[in-house]
């Protein structure tokens, strides 16, 4: 090795070690309650999450344990992982007073939001992120002033009687030019008197603009405003958070973002990201998937029904922390952007995986996107970026979801065109298989032994177990030619123990196999008819 190469390798190792052990300051951990009501604990939670956003700006200092019913269930297991693998030590905080005592020095002041206008809190997060301040309701002003913080902006009374469109237009004029064009944060999800701003610390960390503007075309003014925001973001930038359940539909939100080649990275409840984004991989670590395909071996299926399970809706939701994981072959969607947004957090999932946990790239692009909505001039770059992340994460299977017209077709159009399928095959040359759909879809093909297979069954967490088993048996009867390849979409709330009970009812002619084996079988002996969606 030359001296130059040696010095470069030493330098890179030092950088890796610095990233790995960046937490030189004291670190703190604090539990949050289940109450996210505006007249309950939301004001204190908002203050704490904004404190996290400013305290973590220069180092990872504050981490929250979210309650058991929180969407993402890994805040405690991930904390334990950090302690065990990164030798991190945390001081316990019991209340907001202790948190301010330890960390208020990192805030430049406070921004007051108006409890009478819920949207004012969303605007306050934008203002506080730009100003490195915390957000407070009126009743919390004495508490923060006790620690020497001064008012930087007061939103009380400013928006009384105004629509969300008027409020966001005011915020756009005041803050937009100063905000990041790489990150936009949607503080949607719950509406009314509740809010769960779990992603707000990260939005402040990135100095993002916060909104929950409707993407429903019938909400004319807010829809135009949302389009303006999306249009002025950089292509392939991230729309973090989640749409507002009280305003629009998921499909409308993702379709509009995709039409500007933006990648959605949900949810609004994604926790501790200002902390997690600063924790690097173990020096020298490489992501390694649990592959089941052996080089040189021929995969010839028998005359039976082959099943494969994909648990959708992101790692960390639903079944990952529940009993049964590792007992049966199971595929998990990987939130691929975590490889650079929160690398150690994604390493946690890889390290905790069992040989039966197989990871699949998702969802349609480098993030959640709809391929029909993506302008065709951007689609190759979108797929290239997704494939780049797949290679980093040792993934050779990929999942596509298409709901651009979902709210207009009653969920009956999950299919993609041949033109779109061509792009995935062309730009992902190392893929061994593609999965498509959410509910059952009808796009199928195979090229050079690489299948493109749509879900044949959507297993809702609400479906009776006996009825679910009967559904799968009926599908096998309708698809009488053997082998029959039945791809199962398991909703994130469906736990593995339940899936095991359902599959146990099917009989000896049904075999559950790992997804990569499933793809190999289907690619070598395809029994489905090639079909594509309409343009």
Do 414 and 328 lie in one domain? The reply is yes
Do 269 and 324 lie in one domain? The reply is no
Which of 261, 276, 291 finishes a domain?
A: 276
DSSP state of 156: T
Residue 324 confidence (pLDDT): 94
> Token digits for 329?
């072959």
Position 3 in a domain: no
Tell me which residues of the chain have a pLDDT lower than 70: 1-24, 407, 409-412
Q: Which domain holds residue 199?
A: 12-276
Angle at 128 between CA 125 and CA 132, to 5 degrees: 140
349-364 pLDDT per residue, tens: 999 999 999 999 999 9
The whole-angstrom separation of Cα 175 and Cα 209 is: 8
Do 233 and 369 lie in one domain? The reply is no
Do 201 and 327 lie in one domain? The reply is no
What's the CATH number where 410 sits?
A: 3.20.20.490
Residue 14 confidence (pLDDT): 44
Position 127 in a domain: yes
Do 269 and 310 lie in one domain? The reply is no
Among 54, 58, 34, residue whose Cα is nearest residue 44: 34
Position 171 in a domain: yes
Residue 288 confidence (pLDDT): 98
Do 260 and 335 lie in one domain? The reply is no
Do 214 and 348 lie in one domain? The reply is no
Do 195 and 312 lie in one domain? The reply is no
Do 172 and 54 lie in one domain? The reply is yes
Residue 3 confidence (pLDDT): 52
Residue 99 confidence (pLDDT): 98
Do 158 and 219 lie in one domain? The reply is yes
Give the torsion through C-alpha atoms of 228, 232, 235, 238, to 10 deg.
Answer: -80
Residue 493 confidence (pLDDT): 74
Residue 16 confidence (pLDDT): 46
Position 291 in a domain: no
Among 277, 232, 275, residue whose Cα is nearest residue 257: 232
Q: Which strands, in side-by-side order, build the sheet including 27-31?
A: 62-65, 27-31, 90-92
Do 257 and 377 lie in one domain? The reply is no
The whole-angstrom separation of Cα 465 and Cα 459 is: 10
Do 311 and 224 lie in one domain? The reply is no
Beta bridge partners of 91: 28
> What's the structural domain count of the chain?
2
Position 297 in a domain: no
The whole-angstrom separation of Cα 71 and Cα 270 is: 8
The whole-angstrom separation of Cα 377 and Cα 302 is: 43
């Amino acid at each position: 090795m030359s001296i130059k190469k040696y010095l470069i390798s030493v330098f890179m190792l030092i950088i890796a070690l610095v990233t790995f052990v960046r937490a030189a300051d004291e670190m703190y951990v604090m539990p949050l309650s289940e109450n996210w009501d505006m007249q309950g604990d939301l004001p204190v939670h908002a203050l704490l999450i904004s404190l996290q956003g400013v305290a973590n700006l220069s180092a990872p200092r504050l981490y929250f344990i979210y309650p058991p019913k929180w969407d993402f269930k890994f805040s405690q297991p991930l904390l334990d992982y950090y302690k065990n693998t990164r030798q991190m030590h945390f001081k316990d905080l019991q209340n907001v007073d202790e948190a301010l005592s330890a960390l208020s020095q990192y805030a430049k002041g406070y921004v007051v939001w108006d409890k009478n206008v819920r949207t004012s809190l969303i605007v306050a997060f934008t203002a506080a992120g730009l100003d490195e301040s915390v957000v407070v309701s009126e009743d919390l002003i004495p508490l923060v002033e006790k620690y020497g913080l001064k008012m930087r902006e007061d939103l009380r009374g400013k928006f009384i009687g105004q629509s969300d469109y008027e409020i966001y237009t005011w915020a756009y004029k005041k803050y937009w030019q100063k905000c990041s064009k790489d990150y936009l944060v949607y503080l949607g999800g719950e509406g009314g008197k509740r809010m769960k701003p779990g992603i707000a610390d990260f939005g402040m960390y990135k100095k993002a603009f916060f909104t929950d503007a409707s993407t429903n075309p019938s909400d004319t003014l807010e829809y135009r405003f949302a389009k303006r925001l999306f249009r002025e973001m950089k292509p392939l930038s991230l729309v973090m958070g989640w749409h507002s359940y009280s305003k629009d539909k998921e499909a409308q939100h993702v379709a509009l973002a995709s039409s500007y080649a933006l990648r959605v990275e949900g949810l609004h409840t994604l926790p501790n990201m200002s902390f997690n984004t600063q924790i690097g991989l173990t020096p020298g670590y490489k992501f390694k998937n649990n592959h089941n395909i052996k080089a040189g071996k021929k995969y010839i299926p028998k005359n039976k029904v082959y099943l494969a399970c994909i648990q959708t809706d992101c790692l960390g939701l639903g079944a990952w922390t529940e009993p049964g994981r590792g007992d049966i072959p199971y595929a998990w969607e990987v939130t691929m952007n975590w490889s650079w947004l929160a690398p150690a957090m994604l390493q946690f999932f890889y390290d905790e995986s069992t040989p039966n946990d197989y990871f699949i790239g998702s969802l349609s692009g480098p993030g959640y996107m709809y391929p029909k909505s993506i302008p065709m001039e951007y689609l190759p770059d979108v797929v290239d970026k997704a494939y780049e992340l797949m290679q980093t994460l040792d993934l050779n299977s990929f999942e596509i979801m298409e709901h651009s017209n979902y709210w207009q077709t009653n969920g009956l159009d999950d299919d993609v065109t041949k033109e779109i399928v061509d792009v995935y095959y062309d730009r992902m040359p190392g893929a061994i298989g593609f999965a498509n759909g959410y509910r059952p879809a009808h796009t199928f093909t195979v090229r050079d032994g690489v299948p493109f297979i749509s879900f044949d069954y959507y297993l809702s967490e609400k479906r009776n177990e006996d009825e679910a088993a009967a559904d799968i048996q009926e599908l096998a009867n309708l698809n009488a030619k053997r082998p029959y390849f039945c791809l199962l979409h398991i909703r994130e709330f469906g736990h593995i123990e339940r899936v095991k009970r359902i599959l146990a009812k099917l009989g000896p002619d049904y075999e559950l196999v790992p997804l990569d084996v499933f793809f190999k079988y289907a690619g070598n002996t395809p029994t489905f008819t090639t079909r594509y969606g309409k343009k």
